[in-house]
Amino acid sequence: MSYLNYTHLAPELIVAIMGLAVVFFGLFIPTRFKRGLGCISGLALIIAILEILRNGVLWESQRVATYFYDAYTIDSLSQFFKLVFLSVSFIVVIASTRRYKESRYQDEYYGLLLFATLGMMVVASSNDLLTLFIGFELASMSTYALAGFDKTNPKSVEAAMKYYIIGSISSAILLFGFSLLYGATGTTNLEAISAYIAAHGLASTTGTAILVFLVAGFTFKMALVPFHMWAPDTYEGSPTLISALLAAGSKKMGFVAAFKVFIVALIALKLDMQNVFFILAIITMTYGNLVAISQKSIKRMLAYSSVAQAGYISMAFVIMTPLAVGAGILYVLSHAFMKTGAFIAVGAVVYMLTREKKNLPDADHLDNFAGLSKRAPLTAFAMMIFVFALAGIPPTAGFVSKFVLFSSAIHAGYITLVLVAILNSALSLYYYARLVKYMYVLPPAGETLREPRAYLLAMLVAVIVVIAIGVYPAPFLEWAMNAATTMGL
Amino acid sequence: MVPLNYYLLLSGVLFAIGIYGLISQRNGIRILMCLEILLNSANLNLVAFSSYHGNSTGQVFALFSIAIAAAEAAIGFAILIALFRVRDTIDLHNINILRW
């Protein structure tokens, strides 16, 4: 534990400095050169990703460093999630350089995007309720503004308003839960809380009260049923690239925060937690898949599928063996790439259609995807890979992570849960396969479209990672298992 | 010295008022005010517990959360203004393009 060695904070520092720089220099740069800001933001993100891969913390199963009076830790859990957040933003930035290339507000866009990433990274590294809350709020506030970024579009503003209200309520409830937790234990450090409860115990009423507030606060962010109402509206209304960030980044931040608080600090309440999440996981996956079937808007369908996937990931909280938590973490990684890719493919279709016809009301309607393989073959192919990965078909990331997660559940004896999850996977195949049928079997709904190169590059990155995890899962699985070990289960 | 119970009761009542307001009100500004009440009930808790435990962590936490609440309110009003520009209303019952 060295005090003056801040090299492990390099990814955060790069993102923070670049965020400030983009906002500052955006003041002086004329609009036609602002596209460069997107390029250097992407560069900063890729440097941060390489730095995390280079310094090898992902291979360690022990804590590597702590900073700021134990409020900030570097271990494989934090680095793993930072990798997820940085890659999601990187993919979103690549596509954004095309989507917003004529916008006057690009500096603000990239600044907010980098600050949102920074907030998520702070949550991933936090070891104290205070740092966790600040990171959580930094990421939430930046994404509130991003969700309403197309501010002349009533849908986008409405999505931002709904997201803002529900998000603020959830953070207020979370803060109330934190205050009770602090009151019960007298400290805000996560490990100190765990040590205090182990030594002095926790009255069962106090424990229940804390758990109610924290579960409500976190599951809003994770979009588990019955706290999911905001998610479909927000993902449908916000700009598609921001939906990708929300579904793949912001939601995963809810998961890492919940892992930290529930598994590191409140492991003493394990039994209560398992019961709560057992019910939440089953309701969430069933409801998400059932409602997704009847959706005609692809963005909304993906939103409900993302609700269902959150149900699968939260199985980790039910089983709580090291293997299952590792599997949940691996699922977070694969879901991040599958979902970002799928939203960006939808974004590409919406972009191509609205370029021809301004103000097309429902550009992401299922009918617009008919015969997409003829109109935009590369986008259609990438979309097919992403939806098959989401459905869990080999050799993709979705299959590997589902396989590890479900086998860990069987290993721990949760047969009911696994049965429900597998039936749900079968159910979900219906609406994923329907989309593929629309794209590949039905006749084209219009002429050939010119596919934007930036979107194609973004989808290519996501496709490569999705296939890589599916074909060669060993390193990813080992990182995830290291991450689960550092939580000290 | 006022016992801890009274503070907790007060913060509980404030929390309930905030939630009630969020459910019953439809004007955007009032919703934002209810959010502030919710956050402040948690701050009150933190400060009361800080004095009860005799360490200053809770007060530091409350200071941070007040700053965060201010930033959050600013974003809320910005979104409300954007909403008023496109829809000419901040009555949240009419904000219903997106559903099911």
Q: Which residues of A touch B52 (CB under 8 A)?
A: 183
Q: Which residues of B touch A161 (CB under 8 A)?
A: 28, 79-80, 83, 92, 95
pLDDT at res. A68: 84
Q: Which residues of A touch B15 (CB under 8 A)?
A: 176
Work out the minimum CA distance from B36 to partner chain A, whole angstroms: 9
Residues near B6 by Cβ (< 8 Å), separated by ≥ 6? none
CB contact (8 A) between residue A141 and residue B85: no
Query: What does the block give as tokens for A370?
Result: 């008919």
| Per-residue confidence band for A82, with pLDDT thresholds at 50, 70 and 90 | very high
CB contact (8 A) between residue A183 and residue B22: no
- Write B81-87 long-range contacts (CB < 8 A, 24+): B82/A148, B82/A151, B82/A157, B82/A160, B83/A157, B83/A158, B83/A161, B83/B28, B85/A151, B86/A151, B86/A152, B86/A153, B86/A154, B86/A157, B87/A154, B87/A157, B87/A158
- Residue A489, pLDDT > 80, answer no
pLDDT at res. B91: 83
| Per-residue confidence band for B100, with pLDDT thresholds at 50, 70 and 90 | low
Give this complex's ipTM: 0.95
Q: Domains of chain B (ranges plus CATH)? A: 4-94 (1.10.287.3510)
Instruction: Provide, rounded to the nearest whole percent, the portion of chain A with pLDDT above 70.
Output: 99
pLDDT at res. A234: 92
CB A401 within 8 A of CB A476: no
| Per-residue confidence band for A455, with pLDDT thresholds at 50, 70 and 90 | very high
| Per-residue confidence band for A36, with pLDDT thresholds at 50, 70 and 90 | confident
Q: Cis link prior to A361 (omega < 30° from 0)? A: no
Name which of A145, A168, A237 is nearest B35 (Cβ-Cβ).
Answer: A168
**Mean pLDDT confidence for A452-467:** 93
**Minimum Cα–Cα distance from B60: chain A residue:** A130
Query: What does the block give as tokens for A352?
Result: 């191509």
Residue A381 CA: distances (Å) to CA of A35, A293, A397, A476: 28, 22, 16, 25
| Per-residue confidence band for A7, with pLDDT thresholds at 50, 70 and 90 | confident
Work out the minimum CA distance from A60 to partner chain B, whole angstroms: 32
Helices (H), A150-225: 154-185, 190-200, 204-222
Tell me: the pLDDT tens digits for B51-65? Answer: 999 989 999 999 999
Q: Which of A481, A488, A487, A475 is nearest to A53 (CA)?
A: A475
- In this complex, is the C-beta atom of A133 within 8 Å of any C-beta atom belonging to chain B? yes
Residue A62 sits at the vertex; the CA angle it makes with B58 and A479, to the nearest 5 degrees, is 110
- Residue A2, pLDDT > 80, answer no
**Mean pLDDT confidence for A284-290:** 92
Task: Compute the mean pLDDT over every residue in chain A, rounded to the nearest whole number.
Answer: 90
| Per-residue confidence band for A31, with pLDDT thresholds at 50, 70 and 90 | confident
pLDDT at res. B73: 93
Work out the minimum CA distance from B2 to partner chain A, whole angstroms: 16
Work out the minimum CA distance from A150 to partner chain B, whole angstroms: 10
Q: Which residues of B touch A297 (CB under 8 A)?
A: none
pLDDT at res. A3: 54
CB A466 within 8 A of CB A385: yes
**Mean pLDDT confidence for A356-375:** 82
The pTM of this model reads 0.94
Q: What whole-number distance in Å separates Cα of residue A212 and Cα of residue A301?
A: 30
pLDDT at res. A481: 92
| Per-residue confidence band for A462, with pLDDT thresholds at 50, 70 and 90 | very high
Name which of B11, B83, B85 is nearest A161 (Cβ-Cβ).
Answer: B83
Q: Which residues of A touch B35 (CB under 8 A)?
A: 165, 168-169, 172
**Mean pLDDT confidence for A193-206:** 89
- Residue A202, pLDDT > 60, answer yes
pLDDT at res. B89: 84
Q: What whole-number distance in Å separates Cα of residue A45 and Cα of residue A36?
A: 14
Q: What whole-number distance in Å separates Cα of residue A312 and Cα of residue A332?
A: 10
CB contact (8 A) between residue B98 and residue A233: yes
User: What φ, ψ does residue A66 adopt, rounded to 5°?
Assistant: -130, 150
pLDDT at res. A4: 61
Tell me: the pLDDT tens digits for A226-256? Answer: 888 899 999 998 999 999 999 998 899 999 9
pLDDT at res. A353: 87
pLDDT at res. A488: 76
- Residue A115, pLDDT > 70, answer yes
**Minimum Cα–Cα distance from A148: chain B residue:** B79
